Structure 1
Amino acid sequence: MKKTQVYFMPGLAASPDIFERIKLPEDQFEIHLLEWFLPNENESLSNYAKRMADKVIHENPILVGVSFGGILVQEMKQFLNPQKVIIISSVKSNKEFPRRMKIAKTTKAYKLIPMSLFQNIENLAKYAFGDFIKQRVKLYEKFLSVRDKNYLSWAIENVILWERTEIDKEIIHIHGLEDEVFPVKYIKDYIPVKGGTHIMILNRYKWLNENLPKIMLDE
């Protein structure tokens, strides 16, 4: 039986290790983990997506992206012919951004964030995952792998300034009902995960392991 090739893209600054708890039936799926590389100076998100798409070596794969990785796989779709694109804890257009992100775009407040802050793992974890995570920084140290200042400022800017306004109806969206980064009140047309937070790839992995195969194989 021909296996379905699945490519996973982690969230902002995260390492592919965030997927270590995701297990798909090995007789049906083959997993490939993508990882962030440093952007070129002033590189557009679309150009970066094209370079990331070059790392996908199978035809008609399934692309799965978490958070900013979910934004990236949507941009990669135009350069590939994926069987499916699944986003987790992410958004389908900038209209699904919470109000504070829209304000950040208008005021350009994100430009004032000193990127050196984020080279400290505790600050980066707090920014990426919210205050409640502070006591679990050690656990997340291994999951946050990219500390390069240029990457961080590029990534944050490209999230805030993402230009997509039209939702691609083909995108499959899985979202936690307790997501504190992208609250569900702004999100439309998604598969809800009860108790799922922004890091449900780590703490609701049992739900994902149980449901992802069905979602992936569903015609």
Structure 2
Amino acid sequence: MTKTPIYFVPGLAAGPEIFENLKLDDSKYELQYLKWKTPLALEETIANYAMRMCNDIKTEKPILVGVSFGGIMVQEMAKFIETKKVIIISSVKNQDELPKKFKMAKFTKIYKFFPTKVVSNFEEYAQYFLGKSLKKKAKLYKKYLSIRNETYLKWSIYNVLKWEQQNTPEDIVHIHGTKDHIFPIKKIENCIKIEGGTHVMILSKAKKISKIIDEVLTC
């Protein structure tokens, strides 16, 4: 039986390790993990970056799965290549789903101070950007947030806050936790809800997410 390739894009500053708890039938699926690239410059557009990410895809009409900022990235990538399915997890589909605190950070430009905090003090990063609920678990998640390149961090935070997509892509599948404090569920429309799922449910609710992905791809 021919395996179905799935390409995964992790969240901001995260590596492929965040997908390690997913359990998908390896007789059905061939899992490919894309890694973040260093931006060509801080001014590189998200569109140009997405095109460069597409260069790592060797399959026609791929399935793309993205978590958090990775969810935004796979939507941008799908603008340049034909996809079989796009699945986003703990992410947003348009700028209206971004929380007010993101819009405030965009307005005040406080995001410009985030990168140095990330590089020099992970716990402070966890408190101010990932949310206070994660501060106590910062040591655990430090394992998964392994990308420390300052240019990438500054570029990616800027592009999360400045993302301007207005229309939700057709046929997108959105999996979202009811306890997500980064992208609150009250702002999210048309999603598959996971009760009690937080922004890092890709780790804690991997079994449920795996089942949903399989059901979506086999229905």
TM-score of the superposed pair, with normalisation by structure 1: 0.94
CA drift of 1:139 comes to: 1.8
The answer to whether the 8 A contact 2:23-2:207 is kept is: no
For the residues of structure 2 that align with 1:77 and 1:155, how far apart are their CA atoms? Answer: 18
Q: Are residue 25 (structure 1) and residue 25 (structure 2) matched? A: yes
The more displaced of 13-22 and 94-103 is 94-103
Which consecutive residues of structure 2, in runs of 5 or more, have no partner in the other structure? none
The answer to whether the 8 A contact 1:125-1:140 is kept is: no
For the residues of structure 2 that align with 1:115 and 1:29, how far apart are their CA atoms? Answer: 36
Look up the SS of the partner of 1:5 in the other structure: strand
Identity %: 47
Alignment of 1:1-219 (within 5 A): 1-41=1-41, 42-111=43-112, 113-119=113-119, 120-218=121-219
Q: Deviations over 1:162-191 (max 9, x none)?
A: 110111122110100110000011111101
For the residues of structure 2 that align with 1:177 and 1:156, how far apart are their CA atoms? Answer: 24
The more displaced of 9-18 and 114-123 is 114-123
Q: Deviations over 1:45-93 (max 9, x none)?
A: 0000000011011111110000000000000002221100000000000
For the residues of structure 1 that align with 2:78 and 2:166, how far apart are their CA atoms? Answer: 16
The more displaced of 124-133 and 148-157 is 124-133
CA drift of 1:116 comes to: 1.4
CA drift of 1:146 comes to: 1.1
Which consecutive residues of structure 1, in runs of 5 or more, have no partner in the other structure? none
Moved over 4 A (4+): none
Look up the SS of the partner of 1:25 in the other structure: coil
How many residues in Structure 1 have an aligned counterpart in Structure 2? 217
The answer to whether the 8 A contact 1:21-1:205 is kept is: yes
- How large is the Cα RMSD of the aligned pairs? 1.3
CA drift of 1:107 comes to: 3.0
CA drift of 1:26 comes to: 1.1
